[in-house]
Amino acid sequence: MPQNTPCNFFAILKDDTVRKINLLQNITASIRNIFLDCGAIIMNNDTEEVLFDGNYAIQEEEILYVEMGLPENIEEASNNAIGIEILNLDTDNIKTIFWYENGVYYFQNFDNRKLLRNRSVIFWDNNTYNKLEENALIVENVVNAIYKDGKFYFKSYANANKIFSLLTFFQEATNEEIQRFSESDKIVFDQNWLIDNSNTIIRKQITLIQKSNILEKAKPKSIKSSAKKFNLNIELQDGKVLLPNDKKVCKDILTFLNEQYYIGLITGNKYRTNSKRNA
């Protein structure tokens, strides 16, 4: 990319740092069109904005939003990308990619399935198949969220929460909701203790789990096994995940169930997303 060409394409890593993605001039327009065209589909003059309150039953012509500010490093990258490091597919652990233009941010979720690293990928080239020799990433024809004029827009809470944590926008679970939570076939806990000892964070984590249905297809044995990677000891009782009568451990388990832990690609260190704290 010529040095006088501004960078509009970026990646947010799982530790929330930002990397720029320099594009050759001959593909810049096609990548730009993916984000702008998909953004125009989910937000147009007929789209009705609905303030997010945990209600997922929006109609096709509606879009959810929350009012929020962007992290400073994202604003800095979009305003002055000169000092931002270039994305390195060998080492960087990508969470989200986004396109920035005219004050609007177009976000697309990213996971390892979209990363072509150490894979035997072949492609059609001049009537024969050739092998992709370099690491690559896949840019899909989708926009999962848009940020514009202080508002973060999205159709799916689950996708949007992977970009920025929306925990602060949830209402705390009431005592009645905690009682309903106890009816889950995946979780078991001392209902009276949890009601008496739940703080704001614990109650919001419970709301998030309930609203996202994240445990619907989860298997308690798999949860227990995965948690060991983060030195998080989860016990099972009657085949269910046990929330112990310990406020810190209880909070850690709920945070893990909401998929807010990850492993650093290079160091192998364990982190909580959006906080970059060692787990």
pLDDT band per the 50, 70, 90 thresholds, residue 240: very high
Average pLDDT rounded to a whole number, residues 9-21 = 94
Cα radius of gyration rounded to whole Å, the chain: 21
pLDDT of residue 1: 39
pLDDT of residue 55: 58
* pLDDT tens per residue across span 111-120: 888 878 767 7
pLDDT of residue 5: 53
pLDDT of residue 267: 47
Burial class (CB in 10 A: 0-12, 13-18, 19+), 204: buried
Indicate whether 276 pLDDT > 60: no
pTM exceeding the 0.75 threshold for the entire prediction = no
Helices (DSSP H) in 233-275: which residue ranges? 247-257
* pLDDT tens per residue across span 58-107: 788 899 999 999 999 998 888 888 889 999 998 899 999 999 999 999 99
Indicate whether 271 pLDDT > 80: no
Do 74 and 105 contact (CB within 8 A), yes or no? Answer: yes
Report the alpha-carbon distance of residue 255 to residue 202 in Å, rounded: 9
In the chain, the DSSP E strands lie at: 9-13, 18-20, 48-51, 62-67, 94-101, 104-109, 115-116, 122-125, 128-131, 136-137, 145-148, 151-154, 187-189, 236-237, 240-243, 261-263, 270-272, 277-278
Indicate whether 275 pLDDT > 50: no
* pLDDT tens per residue across span 135-188: 788 899 999 999 999 999 999 888 898 899 887 787 788 999 999 999 999 999
pLDDT band per the 50, 70, 90 thresholds, residue 214: confident
Amino acid sitting at position 226 = S
* pLDDT tens per residue across span 16-51: 999 999 998 889 999 999 999 999 999 988 899 998
Report the alpha-carbon distance of residue 155 to residue 144 in Å, rounded: 7
Burial class (CB in 10 A: 0-12, 13-18, 19+), 109: buried
Q: Are strands 240-243 and 187-189 parallel, antiparallel or unpaired?
A: parallel
